[in-house]
Amino acid sequence: MINRFSFLLGIYSILLIGLLLACGDKKTPKIEQKEAKQKYDIETIKEKGVLRALIDYSSTSYFVYKGQPMGYEYELLETFANYIDVDLEVIPVKNLDDIITLLNTYQGDVIAANWTVTKERAKEVKFTQLNNLTEQVLIQRKPDGYQNMSKAKLNSLLLTSVTELAGKEVYVRKNSSFYSRLVNLSDEIGAEIDIKTVDGDISTETLIEQVSKGEIDYTIADRNIARINTSFFNNIDISLSVSLKQRISWAVRKNSPELAAAIDEWLTEFKKTVEFKYLYQKYFKNIYSYRNRVISDFYSAKSGIISPFDDIIKDKTKAINWDWRLIAALIYQESQFDPSVVSWAGASGLMQLMPTTAQQFGIDSNSTNADQIEAGIKYLKYLDNELKEKVFDPNERIKFVLAAYNVGLGHIWDAMRLAEKYELDPMVWDGNVAEMLKNKSKPKYYKDPVVRHGYCRGREPYYYVKEVIERFKHYENVTDSINSK
């Protein structure tokens, strides 16, 4: 009996040790993965060649207007990305409640979203150099007929002291600095403020609009955002401050000190420039420009419309089975949606076809915009078919087609042959064929026996492809954001 017990105990011990060892083996990769991620700082960003910015989609931070990406945070980010010599990838965050999680799970490198510095946030992220100062203000609706009221009469109908917020319903996002301020303010005035929380995908500007329309009575906003919105919603009052001056900054992960230091170094100098002052004036003080943007049909933050030709592009793009927004990005690159443009070389129309190519696909200077777009897409399809036998991946092939549209198919064949000769991949654009195309401006390469079409200013098509793809991503961002609402 004892022997049997000893035997079973031995078996149990072996199994237990094996289980513990197995568990230990499973934990090891997670620890290594975490340690590897902790090294994701500015050197990794430079190695990858891209800075990923988590940004809010709004009328001041980031939007597309008349086909062009714009925004205060966006332009600052572009300047910084150029400073550290990397590309910029903008990642609009639809639900701002998720933004810290996205940063700390390595789905972005920096938060740039008109973000207030708070103690709670500082526990989870590292804030960078002060961007600017603002204060929180109450957004309330002026009474009907306010235009004909004396200032004293108007003030008697508005809240003019924070103590009057007692018992009032104020709508804000739960994870916003506005919510934290209202909680503290409620303690300060010794009375409950009825804080109504909204989902993280409801923007401050949406809440301001709801106040203006009478759908809610009160919300809170930063004064810089509130001020610029008064140019469009002129029946809102923003005179009541509910906080002291607060800092607005970017934020990075706590384990990215070198990125934070680089931002601080750059921003300290950039804030001394005229360009910085101009940017702030452009987005937060130029009321006329803001109003014109917001009421425009081509202000994508409201309409999701990219150009006057969206419907035509959507229809004609069916022939090539590309995303219509990619064609829109190409058209902007070619003509900025101006059908009357004629280049120095004689290319004309929305898609800037050369005369011989235009004739080949059945159009001339009198053709309609729809015919121009159709002809340009037929040419793209022709190029796609020509390259199909060599570049099998359809997504990869798009870059080859765009380059060929810009510089001609012959130069692309040359670059592919050079890539093969120099042991690069002739079926991959980035870092392979693109590099050989850039090299075609050097005698060593354009005089190579495998080259049949001679010299090429290869940097032009290289940047052409890069810019079209980048603009396409912006168009995806803004239209996806509108469609998700």
- The residue count of the chain comes to 485
Residue 470 placed within a domain:
yes
Task: Give the domain extent around 74.
Answer: 42-130+248-295
Return phi, psi of residue 80, to 5°: -65, -40
Catalytic site includes residue 334: yes
Alpha-carbon gap, residue 372 to 362, rounded angstroms? 9
Look at residue 69 and tell me if it is in a domain. Answer: yes
* 375 located within any domain: yes
- Choosing from 295, 327, 359, the residue where a domain stops is 295
Q: Are residues 339 and 387 in the same domain?
A: yes
Do 265 and 316 have their domain in common? no
Q: Find, among 267, 326, 240, 250, the residue nearest to 73 by Cα.
A: 250
Domain for residue 305, yes or no?
Answer: no
Q: Per residue of the chain (485 residues), what is the pLDDT tens digit?
A: 444 444 444 544 444 444 434 444 433 233 333 434 557 899 999 999 999 999 998 888 998 888 889 999 999 999 999 999 999 999 999 899 999 999 999 999 999 999 999 999 999 999 999 888 999 999 999 999 999 999 999 999 999 999 999 999 999 998 899 999 999 999 999 999 999 999 998 999 999 999 999 999 999 999 999 998 998 899 999 999 999 999 999 999 999 999 999 999 999 999 999 999 999 999 988 776 777 666 666 666 566 789 999 999 999 999 998 999 999 999 999 999 999 888 877 888 899 998 989 899 988 878 899 999 999 999 999 999 999 999 999 999 999 999 999 999 999 999 999 999 999 999 999 999 999 999 999 999 999 999 999 999 999 999 999 999 999 999 998 887 544 44
Which CATH number is 466's domain given? Answer: 1.10.530.10
Q: Looking at the structure, tell me whether residues 190 and 102 fall in a common domain.
A: no
Q: Are 253 and 167 in contact (CB under 8 A)?
A: no
Task: Tell me the C-alpha distance between 261 and 126, whole Å.
Answer: 11
Q: What is the pTM of this model?
A: 0.77
Residues 323, 265 within the same domain: no
Residue 137: which H helix or E strand, with range? strand 136-141
Question: Residue 215: helix, strand or coil by DSSP?
Answer: coil
Which residues, 6 or more positions from 350, have their beta carbon under 8 angstroms from its beta carbon? 309, 331, 334, 335, 337, 338, 339, 369, 372, 373, 376
Cα-based distances in Å from 283 to 18, 62, 235, 253, 277: 63, 10, 21, 27, 10
The H-or-E segment that residue 482 falls in is: helix 459-483
Note whether residue 32 is domain-resident: no
CATH of the domain at 276: 3.40.190.10
Are 89 and 159 in the same domain? no
Catalytic residue among 120, 334, 386, 420: 334
Inter-CA distances, 383 with 386, 387, 428, Å: 5, 6, 16
Longest dimension (CA), the chain: 104
- Do 384 and 476 sit in the same domain of this protein? yes
Q: Which of 265, 295, 325 is the last residue of a domain?
A: 295
Contact at 8 Å (CB) between 211 and 139? Answer: yes
180 part of a folded domain: yes
119 and 146 part of one domain: no
Q: Is residue 215 part of a domain?
A: yes
C-alpha–C-alpha distance, residues 26 and 49, integer Å: 33
Q: Are residues 159 and 87 in the same domain?
A: no
| Nearest-angstrom CA–CA distance, 280 and 143 | 31
What letter represents residue 295's amino acid?
A: I
Number of structural domains, the chain? 3
Residue 11 lies in a domain: no
Instruction: Assess whether 408 and 461 both reside in one domain.
Output: yes
Asked if 143 and 240 sit in the same domain, the reply is yes
What are the CA-CA distances from residue 289 to residues 193, 279, 301 (Å)?
36, 13, 15
- Distances in Å between the Cα of 285 and the Cα atoms of 225, 242, 249 are 10, 21, 19
Examine the domain organization and report whether 361 and 383 are in the same domain: yes
Q: Domain check: are 210 and 350 in the same one?
A: no
pLDDT attached to residue 296: 64
Last residue of a domain, one of 260, 295, 330: 295
- HSE-up (13 A, CA, CB side) for residue 475: 25
